[in-house]
Amino acid sequence: MLRSNSFRQKRALCQLRSFSSLLKSHAYINGKWVEAGNKDMFNVINPANGNVVGIVPNMDVNDAVRAVSAAKKALNNSEWHSFTAKDRSDLLKKWFYLIKQNADEISSIMTTESGKPISEARGEVTYGNAFLEWFAEQARRIYGEVIPSPIKNREIVVLKQPLGVAALITPWNFPLAMITRKTGAALAAGCTIVMKPAEDTPLTALALVKLAEEAGFPDGVVNIITTNKAAPIGDYFCKSLDVNGISFTGSTEVGKLLFRNSSGGIKRISLELGGNAPFIVFKSANLENAVEAAVSCKFRNCGQTCISANRFFLQHEIHDEFIELFKQRVAALKVGDGSKPGVQIGPLINTTQFNKVCTYVEDARLKCAKVILGGKALNELGELFYSPTIITNVPSSAKLYTEEIFGPVASIIKFKTEPEVIKAANDTRRGLAGYFFSEDIQQVFRVAKLLELGMVGVNEGLISAAEAPFGGVKESGIGREGCHHGIDEYVEVKYICFGNLKY
Ligand code: ADP
């Protein structure tokens, strides 16, 4: 950190601390709030206006080693080791209630660092916190099995034991839900954890950890490190023999890197990566429902979700009518600073994302796609605002078609037949979520089965729930989060053979 920044940072910190008791400027290792070993720090910026809203430790591999050692010690420490499933469940419930009580404060922190509208931040607290409640309940149901043996005087017993130390790397687009979805499952299973939140949004994660501390997790069970130099720490997580598993949500590129780097030790890895979601509207669809779902599915979080609709396929009979209705709804969306009442679309998270959106729209224009709404930066609102955009006639060569846009841009493609659209929808190495709208029951089952996706919304654009398994196929990931399947990522299955029994 430059010395000249030091005074300004300290002054900003004082102001911030008075704003919220949950706003932390330290990481948390072994039950203590700590600085980076090298004392370095970095600023957290509000994307709506560029203001510094927090200052957190800029940690390096040495700090990661400290956190992993603490987690390893806590794993074998008798206190956590002796916790029953019910004890773990009670702790998770306590954490859940504390988050619920502090929902307003957490939402404000989230909007300030992520730019998402305050109503969406509140929604995320409710949605994300549901994972803690769910996994508190699941903690008591991590059942083993007794399997009938084919050999006399033998019993086959199967136990599910905690995986060990879990390293959890999360993205900025859901600063709370991505943390709770991983931590809830890991802690329910009896693991100890080291979190590494995204550099754009560490404050929400730190606020959650403050409440985990209040809930009373034993020292070393919950650890968090913050950094804006993730690569060496990721590499350490992959190669350290003290880390038993990694759970990562983020870009496909980084996911592949972690997968490769973990192969040396055959480390357990769970990956939730990018998608390229098709949103198909067949001619039999209820168009009002489809349009409503299209707006929320595409424009929630300014289009910055991995399950956002990325390619809209409209059957030619309803193409024009859908576009007319969709355009009216999208044109009415209110863009601005997410902390202001009524705002529905905030800024993009950072300059990299902003530039990517601008470049992809230009690429489509050059390839003869037609911008029928938006298609421009909203400089009058701030540096990172982009207008809600609809583009038709998007060719399959356009980046908008082949890549995940992660922005408020709806790309529209016209199709004629069901086989043609299934082929196009599946013509990607990504397979996270997808959606289709049809009132034809035969078609519904057929298409749902044919789509190469981990999650399918039928006549529905918002599909996430703590109770449902979240995850993708192809290059969209490995493993599932949420649901009872979410626990599987954090347990080892152990077979115990009892032989020579006398009965
Ligand atoms: P995005 O492009 O959406 O920011 P990333 O995959 O870069 O997605 O980031 C998701 C998370 O992964 C963040 O917490 C980020 O700090 C972290 N990250 C980025 N690069 C690496 C890496 N090489 N190793 C481990 N974590 C990384």
Q: pLDDT tens-digit profile of 248-299?
A: 999 999 999 999 999 999 999 999 999 999 999 999 999 999 999 999 999 9
Query: What pLDDT digit, counting tens, does each position of 131-149 carry?
Result: 999 999 999 999 999 999 9
Residue 347 pLDDT greater than 80, yes or no: yes
| Residue range 70-106, pLDDT digits in tens | 999 999 887 999 999 999 999 999 999 999 999 999 9
Helix residue spans in 149-274 (DSSP H): 177-189, 202-215, 230-239, 252-262
439 is catalytic: no
- 204/102 Cα distance (integer angstroms): 12
- The verdict on the CB of residue 434 being under 6 Å from ligand 1 is no
List the domain range (segments joined by +) for residue 414.
277-465
Residues 264 and 240 grouped into a single domain: yes
Using DSSP's 3-state secondary structure scheme, residue 381 falls into coil
Percent of the chain with pLDDT over 70: 96
Q: In the prediction, which pLDDT does 141 show?
A: 97
Q: Which amino acid is at 452?
A: E
Q: 2 pLDDT exceeds 70?
A: no
282 in the same domain as 235: no
Atom 16 (ligand 1) nearest CA? 198
Reported as a single tens digit per residue, the pLDDT across 195-228 is 999 999 999 999 999 999 999 999 999 999 999 9
Other CB atoms within 10 A of residue 317 CB: 12
Task: Give yes or no: residues 242 and 101 share one domain.
Answer: yes
Tens of pLDDT, residue by residue over 423-460, are 999 999 999 999 999 999 999 999 999 999 999 999 99
Q: Does 193 map to a domain? A: yes
Active site residue 272: yes
Beta-bridged to residue 413, according to DSSP, are 313
Predicted local distance difference test score (pLDDT) of residue 219? 97
| Average pLDDT taken over every residue of the chain | 96
Question: CA 292 from chain center: how many Å?
Answer: 23
Residue 17 has pLDDT above 90, yes or no: no
Domain annotation covers residue 503: no
The answer to whether the CB of 170 is under 6 A from ligand 1 is yes
Q: Is residue 498 part of a domain?
A: no
Q: Is 256 in the pocket of ligand 1 (CB under 6 A)?
A: no
d(CA 58, CA 38): 8
In a domain, residue 129? The reply is yes
Q: Are residues 306 and 400 in the same domain?
A: yes
pLDDT digits (tens, 9 = 90+) for 460-474: 999 999 999 999 999
Tell me: pLDDT of 402 over 50.
Answer: yes
Q: What is the mean pLDDT of residues 58-63?
A: 98
pLDDT of residue 340: 96
Does 323 lie in the same domain as 198? no
Return the pLDDT at 4. 42
Same domain, 219 and 283: no
- Residue 14's pLDDT is what? 56
Is pLDDT above 50 for 346?
yes
Atom of ligand 1 nearest to the CA of 353: 2
Interatomic CA distance for residues 489 and 502, integer angstroms: 37
- Same domain membership, residue 287 and residue 246: no
Task: Single out the catalytic residue among 120, 124, 133, 272.
Answer: 272
Q: Which two tokens stand for residue 84?
A: 């029953």
User: Whose CA is closest to 116, among 47, 63, 170?
Assistant: 47
Same domain, 202 and 329: no
Residue 19 has pLDDT above 50, yes or no: yes
Nearest CA-CA partner of 149 in 139, 138, 141, 157: 157
The residue whose CA has the least distance to atom 9 of ligand 1 is 250
- The ligand 1 atom at the shortest distance from the C-alpha of residue 352 is 2
CATH of the domain at 348: 3.40.309.10
Catalytic residue among 238, 297, 306, 483, which?
A: 306
Stretch 388-395: mean pLDDT: 98
Alpha-carbon gap, residue 194 to 65, rounded angstroms: 10
Q: What's the number of domains the chain is made of?
A: 2
Q: For the whole model, what pTM was predicted?
A: 0.96
Q: Based on the domain organization, do 447 and 344 belong to the same domain?
A: yes
Closest atom, ligand 1, to C-alpha of 255: 6
* 185 and 86 belong to one structural domain: yes
Q: Residue with the nearest Cα to atom 18 of ligand 1?
A: 230
Whether 382 is covered by a domain: the verdict is yes
